[in-house]
Amino acid sequence: MDPRAGTPAQPSDLIDVDAVVGAYYDLVPDLDDPAQRVVFGTSGHRGSSLDHAFNEAHIIATTQAIVEYRRSQGTDGPLYIGRDTHALSEPAWRTAIEVLGAAGVETYVDARDSWTPTPAVSLAILTHNGAATSDGVRTHGPGLADGIVVTPSHNPPRDGGFKYNPPHGGPAGSEATSWIADRANEILRSGVGQVRRMPFEQAIAAETTRKHDFLTSYVDDLSNVIDMDVIRTSGVQIGADPLGGAAVEYWGEIAERYDIDLTVVNPEVDPRWSFMTLDWDGKIRMDCSSPSAMASLVSKMVSTGSTGGGGAGPMHGGGAPFDIATGNDADADRHGIVTPDAGLMNPNHFLAVAIHYLYGGARPGWGDGAAIGKTLVSSSLIDRVGASLGRRVIEVPVGFKWFVPGLLDGSVGFGGEESAGASFLRSDGRVWTTDKDGILLALLGSEILASTGRTPSQHHAELVAEHGESWYARVDAPATLDEKATLAKLSPEQVSATSLAGEEITAKLTSAPGNDAPIGGLKVTTESSWFAARPSGTENVYKIYAESFRSAEHLEQVQAEAKDVVSAALGG
């Protein structure tokens, strides 16, 4: 933990926007360095122009690769493209428009020439393709649509990001991203000068470049997935902090459109993010699940609020400025929930509360067959809540892409990740988005409070009383490249341990029980604890997620022995 974590950013912490943007155009990647190639992680290609990892050449090549990929898949409809507020997002967006225009791809850009949250792009794709319409009919034109979101999510201000969403509206799977990355790197090697481009002014005015009102389409449709009436009539007072991201205009429109008592806590947009408090490592990072990054909003809520769960509004009459406050990351695909009685909720805690509320009677239109989706590193409290509700819990590997098929056909009602990303079905059981929706989950927190009169953190306390308290954490351990590769391909037979932290091991998993997909690591469970180990995609470490339902001390023992179990399996 950096000693300045949670304190306001200082001038020395801020990026030079001109230098970052200038490097985007001026620096050329060296493909002999793997760190300078196009690499798609779970959420697209990310990097900094200053590191030769996110430059104009990367975006020319990647966009051309997407043009070729969608053509090879028969995706002949429009492409919806959005961007967030990072300094590199607009330059990359402009580059993509130049390539798409020259390729003759029908491209829909934001009608306001502004920022677009990831869920708004997902919704646009699904609506065009008929998946999100009541009659299943495409909204306009022939052909299937797909999309691009220019965002590095919650990454620091110096970074850029570029991700592709195919016609199912969610994050692209590894088959697509591997093809796109490989082809992009081929183009980089042969020279991006071969790629046809059109001057931006010509491309943005081309007949194939059209306008789409992402904001109105998204906001007007929200009442079909969130009970906006109960939020309005309850008088719940909401503070929404977009953290300088793409949701800033959306929150203002939501407040006006539905006449709810919602204040945009900080409407400022600054590509340096000078108003942020520093994250755990002393960097500026728009992580709405981090207590350090959210310190400013948390301090507003808990320093003046009552400790007994009261807020400031007519619902509770306490001293905090709002009954509930929320945060989003830069592309609004993650959520943070802040209550006067508990501060920033652990993402796992809110996921469990959301599931208990939604499946406990708030969404009768989902039907009895809608399962609960969770990643294998999410809290086991979700499993216990699911069992108490008589619902099937589907445990999948890390990555929201695994929830896409179930959300699309309605067989999964709710899909959530431990990293504060989730989405769920419309009230009638049809798909809403197949990508993470931080605005949606933030509004759900307000619906829970408005409908029940209790904050989500109070609901979590009730779940703990019923199912037991747990302690959850993630730590990193050093690993070489060879060790990371071995960990990613472990088999259960390579794990010789029979006990963990004083308990018999009940399962050794290298594939997810929900869909039998490889987890790229190892999960070990006992009666009251578990750990999962996965190699990092960016650093020479592996990540250990662990949880204990016994005590904080037991969690530390699980973490310590987890390193020994993994080391032995790796031959250490």
339/260 Cα distance (integer angstroms): 18
Q: 71: number of CA atoms within 13 Å, CB side?
A: 11
- Nearest residue to 303 (alpha-carbon basis) of 316, 320, 288, 318: 320
Pairing of strands 393-396, 371-375: parallel
Q: 45: number of CA atoms within 13 Å, CB side?
A: 34
Structure tokens at 264: 């945009």
β-partners of residue 394 are 373
Q: How far is CA 72 from CA 60, 180, 261, 290, in A?
A: 18, 11, 48, 41
Cβ neighbours for 462, distance < 8 A, ≥ 6 positions apart: none
38/21 Cα distance (integer angstroms): 19
β-partners of residue 423 are 415
Given the structure tokens 């050449």, which residue do they identify? 57
Q: 26: number of CA atoms within 13 Å, CB side?
A: 8
Contact 325, 338 (CB under 8 A): yes
Under DSSP, the state recorded for 435 is: S
- Nearest residue to 158 (alpha-carbon basis) of 63, 46, 281, 288: 46
330/323 Cα distance (integer angstroms): 24
Q: How far is CA 455 from CA 122, 123, 236, 339, 343, in A?
A: 29, 29, 11, 7, 11
What the chain holds in terms of domains, given with CATH numbers, is 17-212 (3.40.120.10), 218-467 (3.40.120.10), 471-569 (3.30.310.50)
Sign of CA dihedral 488, 492, 498, 499: positive
Task: Catalytic residue, from 153, 290, 380, 470: name it.
Answer: 153
> Greatest CA separation found in the chain?
68
- Nearest residue to 140 (alpha-carbon basis) of 99, 96, 80, 216: 80
Contact 181, 40 (CB under 8 A): yes
Q: Is 223 a catalytic residue?
A: no
pLDDT at position 141 is: 61
pLDDT at position 41 is: 79
Contact 273, 284 (CB under 8 A): yes
- 3-state SS of 52-67 is CCCCHHHHHHHHHHHH
Determine the 3-state secondary structure of 325 from DSSP.
Answer: strand
Pairing of strands 343-344, 371-375: unpaired
pLDDT at position 565 is: 92
92/536 Cα distance (integer angstroms): 26
Cβ neighbours for 119, distance < 8 A, ≥ 6 positions apart: 218, 332, 333, 423, 433, 435, 436, 437, 438, 439, 440
Structure tokens at 389: 């509700």
Contact 243, 153 (CB under 8 A): no
pLDDT at position 304 is: 55
Helix (H) or strand (E) holding 79: strand 79-83
Cβ neighbours for 390, distance < 8 A, ≥ 6 positions apart: none
140/566 Cα distance (integer angstroms): 53
Structure tokens at 49: 């122009």
CA angle, corner 331, sides to 329 and 335, nearest 5?
Answer: 40
Sign of CA dihedral 270, 161, 297, 252: positive
pLDDT at position 570 is: 87
Tens-digit pLDDT string for the chain (572 aa): 899 999 999 999 999 999 999 999 999 999 999 999 999 976 789 999 999 999 999 999 999 999 999 999 999 999 999 999 999 999 999 999 999 999 999 999 999 999 999 999 999 999 999 987 766 666 666 789 999 999 999 999 999 999 999 999 999 999 999 999 999 999 999 999 999 999 999 999 999 999 999 999 999 999 999 999 999 999 999 999 999 999 999 999 999 999 999 999 999 999 999 999 999 999 999 999 999 999 999 999 986 544 333 444 455 556 789 999 999 999 999 999 999 999 999 999 999 999 999 999 999 999 899 999 999 999 999 999 999 999 999 999 999 999 999 999 999 999 999 999 999 999 999 999 999 999 999 999 999 999 999 999 999 999 999 999 999 998 888 888 898 899 999 899 999 999 999 999 999 999 999 999 999 999 999 999 999 999 987 667 889 999 999 999 999 999 999 999 999 988 86
